[in-house]
A and B are shown apart, each in its own frame.
Chain A
Amino acid sequence: TGGDVEDEVVNSTAKSAEDRKAAAALSKLDTHDDDESGRQMVDQDALNNVMEGVVVPKRDDEAPRKVVKVDPADVALLVDELELPKTKATELLRSHDGDAVKAMRAFITPSWKA
């Protein structure tokens, strides 16, 4: 069977008409036909105008992000005790004003009870 290159195209697992249908549908899911033919008539000028207005809005909570000092020793403690990734541990500390006790307490309190 060496040598021939006419291969690999057909989905092989499908044994019945029913299966072939399913396989064909699934194999087409990820085709990216960026088909623009079906697009509607849009007013290009109007579009350009509104595009100007489409900017990423600054999220309120982002603007004055509080500077919270986080002690690396506390991060290490949380990573070890709570088995969190470093980023998550840092985040957790930040959201509790860098207070390791508060952070750990919050973490071990059932979420629906807090």
Chain B
Amino acid sequence: MPQTLSTREANLFRTVIRHYEDKQYKRGLKAAEQILKKNPKHGDTMSMKALIMNAQGKTEEAFALAKEALTIDMKSHICWHVYGILYRTNKNFDEAIKAYKFALKLEPDSHQIQRDLAILQVQMRDYQGYVQSRLTMLKARPQLRQNWTALAIAYHLEGNLQQAEKILTTYEKSVTTAPLKTDFENSEAVLYKNSIIAEMGEVERALEHLETDGKHNLDRLAVMELRARYLAQLGRKEEAAKAYRALLDRNPEHPDYYQCLIETLDMSKTDEAALKAVYDEYAEKFPRCDAARRLPLDFLTGDDFQKAAKSYLTLMFNKGVPSTFANLKHLYSNSFKKDTLPTLADEYLQEHKQNSDGKEQANGDSSKGEGAALFFLAQHYNYHMSRDLSRAMEYVERAIELDPKNTDFQMTKARIYKHQGETQKASEAMDYARTLDTRDRYINSKAAKYQLRNNENENALTTMGLFTRAETVGGPLADLIDMQCIWFLTEDGEAWQRRGNLGLALKRFHTIFNIFDIWQEDQFDFHSFSLRKGQIRAYIDMIRWQDQLREHPFYFRAALDAVNLYLDMHDKPQGSNGVNGVDGGKANGEDAAEKKKAAKKAKKEAQKAEREAAEKAAKQDPNKASAQKGKDAEDAKKKDDDPNGLKLASTTDPLGDAMKFLGPLLQFSPKNIDGQLAGFEVFIRRKKYLLALRCLNAALALDKDHPRVQEQSKTFQEAIGPILDSFAPKVQEIIKSEFTAFSS
């Protein structure tokens, strides 16, 4: 039977809530205890106490207490609400939704519960549920514009564009005073509505709406861009051209604008001179503009290309722009251009030489152009489409001779070593480049990366430590994890993998997996925040991006590494030798011993770092008690019970563990053949033949001539041949009809 509180304690209960909301957890707990002393079976207080404990990181105790509270008072919406919050903060969103729904049934008018439920629904992409919730919230408070916008968003995300627009219009009609010109919420709502109209394909109406309601919109760039696009779509070319010209005046470095302008000008795509004239106009108007000078190189051919390329290279070399090669290498798919560019760079060098031979140039900058041209040629011969590494080295040495302290030149030298397979020399050269500019983090990062490529994990971390924050508990690695430095974690993991330290390799890949979880979770606050800010289009963009979050190459690379590592673990369960797969069975004893030694050393070092960090934390200024105490809770939460990944490496089910990484890989990057190939290997070992076939068919569709696809077809054939009869008839039918690799 639920207990009821006296007035005094009811007041006390309210302060518990307030303390919780103000994050005054100790005070909150104290007040809760006071109530419980007299009313030990007060469910709501027990729940609040659980909530506070959860915030302090005592998750398990919190759940136990919240459950107990529920058994005492099943009819309390507070108990259910708290239960939902516990699930939510521990990221079990499905259970959280269930609990909120119970709470809401008991207290249908609770704005807070309804809001919490709505946020979870959109987080979980339950758009139908979200529409229902936002509708209820709108009915409760129709005077709030946010509620109308939110309902429109719900319809929009659900795919019901008409209804979304209708809701926005309905609100507009009920407004009696004209919104101020500076009313940002209104300004954005207008453009949001405009984007919905356009999404429905009603371009004409979108343009009309933009030119009336959007006329004085605060987001000028958006209005200009949308207007130009609509005009172009409607074939009103002259006006569209003018609109694109206005955009180019604003930002002449946006290639899309030139492209769109040209499309409105009714030019022949082969009339290179006319096309170039469009760009020339902007090159002249904006002397410092890069795009107008560079973009014509994409379409020009023959002598015209040569002429334009020469003038572009001259300009870039004279300025000493280091990115010249990077900005032009895409032209190499055309062999004429690939041959012309180095010739031009050579010519530049010759001319430059003549000039400086003729008269010693007065300004010390004379070597800048020569250095830039040599640098270009070094990169040219280092590039995979035009590779000649000894010539590359020749050119970079000449450049270095000219300017021995130039970091960029030294960096390229390191890169050439890398392509020669000389990882040790590459690492040394990059580290030397680093010493030339110790205040620049970019070169520092590159030095660390090259150390990792040379399996120097410890050195790399030391290098990184020159720029991480000294006071972070746990040292540079903890700071890099905190700051979500994916590239380092990936490279570090791959290096550990090469060194045979499976634990640390897995640890890094799992850390990356967790960072993606955090990134997904990061959107949570914005479901309500964006409504308050009124920035709706950006919010919708964010939602769409989040839906595809794990297609990011950052995820793909780490996940593929992890899957391949687990596959190796499955195939060679004896442990740390031969992880590369290549030297697998016949790994010589010496190598294996060395790897073991390295793993041991690494473990020792990690333990040492941990000890030091703990000491450091203990020694921190006691005067900063307030800062430190908050941290304790945080640290308790963060305490890692497997810092070296030993538990991860001792798994008895590597294939099962691989599934965690593989699932999102196949779901979000199905067109990346490496994922499909890895998927096949996992599924065939797990004897999930239909799923293996699924990967195989996807790989075939992507590249049927890929050597590994051929191999896998054979593997599949051999695997199922003898056992096909034992499959369920329906599965047999599928395999017979869908496994066509051999017949084709």
Contact = CB atoms under 8 A, between A and B. Distances in A.
Direct contact between A and B in the complex (CB less than 8 angstroms)? yes
Nearest to A7: B629
A54 B697 contact: no
B626 A15 contact: no
Given A1-B629, A12-B634, A29-B526, A47 B143 contact: yes
Interface in A89-112: 100-101, 104-105, 107-112
A38 B626 CA distance: 37
Interface string B589-629: 00000000000000000000000000000000010011111
Interface stretch (B166-174, B323-331, B715-723): B166-174
B733 A40 contact: no
A5 to B, nearest CB: 5
B145 interface: yes
Nearest to A50: B170
Interface in B518-546: 524-526, 528-529, 532
B97 to A, nearest CB: 15
Given A30-B529, A101-B733, A110 B697 contact: yes
Given A5-B30, A42-B143, A57-B163, A108 B690 contact: yes
B469 interface: yes
B211 interface: no
Contact of B728 (A4, A40, A77, A112): A77
Most chain-B CB neighbours within 10 Å: which of A12, A43, A59? A12
A68 interface: no
Interface residues of B, number: 70
B1 interface: no
A40 B730 contact: no
B115 interface: yes
Contacts of A24: none
A35 B734 CA distance: 59
B738 A83 contact: no
Given A30-B525, A56-B135, A47 B738 contact: no
Contacts of B702: 110
Nearest to A1: B625
Contacts of A32: 115, 528
Nearest to B699: A110
B385 interface: no
A51 interface: yes
B525 A51 contact: no
B633 interface: yes
Given A82-B691, A100-B730, A108-B693, A8 B145 contact: no
B478 to A, nearest CB: 11
A107 to B, nearest CB: 7
B646 interface: no
B25 interface: yes
Interface in B158-180: 160, 163, 167, 170-171, 173-177, 179
A30 B21 CA distance: 11
B685 interface: no
Interface in B131-187: 131-132, 135, 138-139, 142-145, 151, 160, 163, 167, 170-171, 173-177, 179, 183, 185-186
Contact of B627 (A10, A38, A105, A107): A10
Given A8-B25, A47-B143, A104-B690, A54 B733 contact: no
A56 B134 CA distance: 11
Contacts of B525: 29-30
B701 interface: yes
Say whether chain B's binding surface is mostly helix, strand, loop, or mixed: helix
Nearest to A14: B627
B471 interface: yes
Interface string A58-89: 01000000000000001001000111000000
A21 interface: no
Interface residues of A, number: 52
B144 A47 contact: no
Most chain-B CB neighbours within 10 Å: which of A7, A111, A112? A7
A110 B670 contact: yes
A43 B176 contact: yes
B173 A46 contact: yes
B676 to A, nearest CB: 9
B694 interface: yes
A41 interface: yes
A85 B209 CA distance: 46
B95 to A, nearest CB: 15
A40 B145 contact: yes
A104 B730 contact: yes
A38 to B, nearest CB: 8
B24 interface: yes
Contact of A9 (B23, B138, B471): B23
B26 interface: yes
Nearest to A49: B174
Interface of B: 22-27, 30, 111, 115, 131-132, 135, 138-139, 142-145, 151, 160, 163, 167, 170-171, 173-177, 179, 183, 185-186, 469, 471, 524-526, 528-529, 532, 622, 625-631, 633-634, 670-671, 688-691, 693-694, 697-698, 701-702, 728, 730-731, 733-734, 737-738
7 contacts: A7-B625, A12-B628, A30-B525, A35-B532, A81-B688, A108-B697, A109-B697
Given A8-B24, A12-B627, A29-B526, 9 more contacts: A6-B626, A10-B626, A36-B143, A40-B177, A42-B143, A54-B138, A56-B131, A104-B731, A108-B697
Interface of A: 1, 4-13, 15, 29-30, 32-36, 38-44, 46-48, 50-51, 53-54, 56-57, 59, 74, 77, 81-83, 100-101, 104-105, 107-113
